[in-house]
Amino acid sequence: MKIGELAKRTGCDVETVRYYEKSGLLDEPARNAAGYREYQDEHQERLQFIRHCRSLQIGLAEIRLLLALKSNPAAGCEGVNDLLDHHIERIQGQMEALRTLQGQLQALRHQCAAPQSIQQCAIMQSLSEGSDSHDCACHAAG
């Protein structure tokens, strides 16, 4: 199959397929007599694996590790478990940060209960104040 068909079958952009090839995640296919890439079912399976990992927000470096582990099917799956445990911890940290951000935004939003001029808007005033009077992500000590 040609690159367009592979992309269509996997719900992927042609440029993404090329990117995965350039980055070494997807093996470069053989070319036919006319010079066109000829993808095989193995390419489609691997691309679907990569796309599924990406939908879970697994990074390219981790996908590379998973693919390396997948290439040795008789090995134990401890490495897979460790990788996923680490990813879950990272996602939990992101969720905590997002909950904090949500609270900050909700507190900011509650400062303006009724429509008024921008000049009198408590949200705009709060956003304009210095960091000494705020405990928000943009003013966190870093």
59 has a pLDDT exceeding 90: yes
Of the two residues 41 and 115, the one the predictor is more confident about is: 41
142 has a pLDDT exceeding 50: no
140 has a pLDDT exceeding 60: no
User: Residue 30 — φ and ψ, nearest 5°?
Assistant: -70, 160
pLDDT of residue 112: 85
Residue 139: pLDDT band by 50, 70, 90 thresholds? low
Domain coordinates in residue numbering, the chain: 1-75, 77-142
29 has a pLDDT exceeding 90: yes
Q: How many Å apart are CA 59 and CA 70, to the nearest integer?
A: 16
What are the b/e assignments for 48-58, b being 16+ CB within 10 Å? Answer: ebbeebeeeeb
Q: Which fold has domain 1-75?
A: Multidrug-efflux Transporter Regulator; Chain: A; Domain 2 (1.10.1660)
125 has a pLDDT exceeding 90: no
